Amino acid sequence: MTTTRAIKDELLATRPIIVKERIAELTSILRFGGGLHVISGRIALEVEVDDVRAVQRIRKDLLEIYGVRAEAKKAPQKFQASKNPVFLIRVMPGETISRQLGLLDAQRRQIRGLPNAITTGARGELAATLRGAFLVKGVISHTGRATSLEFVCPTHESAMALSGAAGRLGISAKVKEIRAQIKVLVREDDSIHSLLLAMGAKEAAADWLELRQHREERANANRLVNFVDANLRRSAQASVNACARVERALEILGSSVPKHLKYAGELRLKNREASLNDLGAHADPPLTKDAIAGRIRRLLAMADKEAARKGIPGTEAGLPPGAL
């Protein structure tokens, strides 16, 4: 089964080469995994990650692209919600780099969505934006038969921006608020596969296809079993109904029943679960399916006609409750 950890491990094992894609990924990581804070009157840019490789990646991009050195330290254990260690990365002062990344507007306020520069960029930049968001706030969730790939977003505007980036890549994503959290959800099988490929998780995408195929095969097998079971139940019920009507027909007609029809009726009662083909084969001499069916049909019709003449219940009176 494809796991969140396996996807993140694969994404962290590869690095984008194009500078614009590195910037898009870095900006997305900082937007979804962190924020801007004022410390001693100065703006600090902070982000939390749960993998030391992500720490190295962020610090490397900040230094190589912008010449900015970022501090990194392990968060105290009491503040950690997961078993994995959490690392805090801080750029202080962070106003200049925040403006360069487009995370800060002209009024020194953190933007509520994502910078237009990356949400309107090339396909590689859009994919890098999704990859960055997944590295800090992404999860693949398996609940029963359903699977979804989810991003937890800090604001509704950032969720809309991320959903729009996915849409421009042909990936169906929806924004929903679930238990006070704003999320971008990708639930369609094809969209999950496309998203994994776009982010660069090729092995996870292959595993997902295998899981999807296995799930479809299991569903088809279950449908076939249910279909066969339903047919068997219908056949069994039809046999019970047929025998009940035949018994009632023989009771109504008594000694007046023609011998060849009586023979067919008694043959039906002696072989209650047999098909019409098998029933004909049991006859002496053997009869065709149509011949045995015709005789039983005439037996029932004759009995119903006789019952109507006498003013008594017909062959359907012998059916079990709820059979009609």
Q: Where are the alpha helices (DSSP H) in 254-288?
A: 259-270, 276-282
pLDDT score at 316: 82
| Predicted structure pTM score | 0.67
Band (114; pLDDT cuts 50, 70, 90)? very high
> Using only C-alpha atoms, what is the Rg of the chain?
36
**Which has the higher per-residue pLDDT, 92 or 166?**
166
Band (236; pLDDT cuts 50, 70, 90)? low
Q: What is the DSSP string of 190-218?
A: HHHHHHHHHHT-HHHHHHHHHHHHHHHHH
Rounded average pLDDT over 52-79 = 87
**Which has the higher per-residue pLDDT, 226 or 2?**
2
Rounded average pLDDT over 111-117 = 91
Band (321; pLDDT cuts 50, 70, 90)? low
pLDDT score at 168: 94
Residue 19's identity, in one-letter code, is V
pLDDT score at 242: 79
Q: What is the pLDDT of residues 212-230, one digit of tens each?
A: 666 666 666 667 666 656 6
For the cut 70, the answer to whether the pLDDT of residue 78 exceeds it is no
Instruction: Report the alpha-carbon distance of residue 222 to residue 230 in Å, rounded.
Output: 12
Rounded average pLDDT over 173-198 = 92
pLDDT score at 253: 85
CA dihedral 253, 255, 256, 262 (to 10 degrees): 70
Rounded average pLDDT over 52-76 = 91
Rounded average pLDDT over 43-68 = 92
pLDDT score at 130: 96
For the cut 80, the answer to whether the pLDDT of residue 167 exceeds it is yes
pLDDT score at 216: 65
For the cut 80, the answer to whether the pLDDT of residue 317 exceeds it is no
Band (280; pLDDT cuts 50, 70, 90)? confident
**Which has the higher per-residue pLDDT, 210 or 160?**
160
Instruction: Report the alpha-carbon distance of residue 5 to residue 18 in Å, rounded.
Output: 25
pLDDT score at 69: 93
Distances (CA, A) of 8 to 46, 212, 248, 303: 21, 20, 72, 76
For the cut 60, the answer to whether the pLDDT of residue 81 exceeds it is no
Which residue is listed with tokens 């006859």? 283
Q: What is the pLDDT of residues 17-48, one digit of tens each?
A: 899 999 999 999 999 998 888 888 888 899 99
Alpha carbon 90 to its chain centroid, in Å, reads 38
Rounded average pLDDT over 253-269 = 85
